[in-house]
Amino acid sequence: MDFETRAIHEGQEADPATGAIITPIYQTSTYVQEAVGEHKGYDYSRVNNPTRTALQRCLASLESADHGIAFSSGLGAVTTVMHLVDPGQRVVLIADVYGGVYRMTSQVYEPKGYLFDYVPAAEFANLSDHLDDDTRIVWIESPSNPMLNVVDIRAAADAAHAAGAILVVDNTFATPYLQRPLELGADIVVHSTTKYLGGHSDVIGGFAATNDHTIAERLFFLQKSLGAVPGPFDCWLVLRGIKTLALRMQRHCENATAVAVWLDRRPDVEQVYYPGLPTHPGHAIAARQMRDFGGMVSFLAASPASAAEIVGRTKLFQLAESLGGVESLIEVPARMTHAATATAPFAAPPNLIRLSVGIEAAEDLIEDLEFALATVGVRA
Ligand SMILES: *Cc1c(COP(=O)(O)O)cnc(C)c1O
């Protein structure tokens, strides 16, 4: 079955008890056993829950994975996957990794003796030079947050494997509709389902998928042992969001392309970052490994002050953290989502504006930006 069909049906047979077409929210902590240890696969909801099972099966299928493991947040997924690493071992990350991941690696794991190296996207062509015998994981985002850098996933997987490491891809920005890293050689995919997969800015969630049996067993063990599990209602919200993922992503991509092209033509915008623009350094790779270029666009305002002014003037683009919902958002990463990277070697530029382009009418979105940029331009 095709992606769109699996997004609606996979893991979601009619409820055997009632025929309910939609997977019920199994809001229960425990399950009655017929005799000691005799149950239908469910004994306690931290370990397993039918609504979570439906989500795990559906999303695993969309990522072309045998195994899917759901978490309470994207960072819940990240911290659980990081437990595959022991102190003294090394994780090599793309330098402009999500700010919350950087906060975790630098302030939680590094003090415990884990080793982290941050490699700029432009140096990924020489990734092997950055890997040694201690390297356990190569960790990338593509496109990355917030610089929209693109990494050749197949090449990164080959380099990681040659060094005896595994490749983890945070696929939050692309979603499996646009890009399936496991098909390109990655070992684990992680997601913040808070973003496009949920799609409606009403849930926090995370996910990991893999085709490696040993890794899957370890991650299921860590899921129940560390306990960063999602509640049944949150799983249900993500399942519901996924049903329209394909349609929403098509529109996100159309609108983001329109906005990026429009921004790129403006003389008062110094630089636009969108992998769909032919001038983007990762355009050719993105065109090869993605179905389309996604809904995120970043650009440089003239100064940090004008960045702050612009994000205060848009009306449809609402000033907020997060991304991937149907409504458009605008933010200044250096002061909001990526504030934790301020003192890092690869901080987000202070005049960078990040757009999560929603699925409203593109003309309305452009008019909104036009107003904000024009009025700031006049005062500058
Ligand atoms: C938001 C985000 C995360 C963290 O997810 P939460 O659901 O907020 O915990 C991780 N990676 C990327 C790329 C993100 O955008």
> Distance, CA 192 to ligand 1 centroid (Å)?
5
Q: Does 245-374 carry CATH code 3.40.50.970?
A: no
Q: 170 with 77: CB under 8 angstroms?
A: no
Does residue 241 come out as left (phi exceeding 0), alpha (psi in the -120 to 50 range) or beta?
Answer: alpha
Torsion 53-81-197-203 (CA) sign? positive
The pLDDT assigned to 258 comes to: 98
The pLDDT assigned to 261 comes to: 98
Residue written as tokens 């990350």? Answer: 93
Angle, CA 150 vertex, CA 145 and CA 155 arms, to 5°: 130
Largest interatomic CA distance in the chain: 76
User: Are domains 3-242 and 245-374 of this chain identical in fold?
Assistant: no
Q: 298 with 148: CB under 8 angstroms?
A: yes
In ligand 1, the atom with minimum distance to the C-alpha of 194 is 7
pTM: 0.97
- For a mutational test of ligand 1's pocket, the pick from 169, 192, 238, 338, i.e. the residue with the most ligand atoms closer than 8 A to its C-beta, is 192
> Distance, CA 75 to ligand 1 centroid (Å)?
6
Domain ranges of the chain: 3-242, 245-374
- Give dist(CA 265, CA 247) in Å, integer: 28
Q: Does 3-242 carry CATH code 3.40.640.10?
A: yes
> Distance, CA 349 to ligand 1 centroid (Å)?
20
The pLDDT assigned to 378 comes to: 46
Whether the bond between 146 and the residue before it is cis, its omega within 30 degrees of 0, is yes
Strands 90-94 and 135-141: parallel
In ligand 1, the atom with minimum distance to the C-alpha of 97 is 13
Which residue's CA is the nearest one to ligand 1's atom 7? Answer: 74
The pLDDT assigned to 380 comes to: 45
pLDDT along the chain (380 residues), means of 10: 97 95 98 94 97 98 98 98 97 93 96 96 95 97 95 98 98 98 98 98 98 98 98 98 98 98 94 98 98 98 94 97 97 90 81 97 98 74
Which residue's CA is the nearest one to ligand 1's atom 5? Answer: 74
Task: Supply 156's token pair.
Answer: 């990164």
| Dihedrals phi, psi of 24, to nearest 5 degrees | -65, 155
| Residues noted as catalytic | 46, 98, 170, 195
- Give dist(CA 277, CA 283) in Å, integer: 7
In ligand 1, the atom with minimum distance to the C-alpha of 101 is 10
In ligand 1, the atom with minimum distance to the C-alpha of 141 is 13
Task: Supply 317's token pair.
Answer: 């683009």
- Give dist(CA 358, CA 215) in Å, integer: 35
Find the residues whose C-beta lies inside 6 A of ligand 1.
73-75, 98, 100-101, 141, 145, 170, 172-173, 192, 194-195, 204, 206
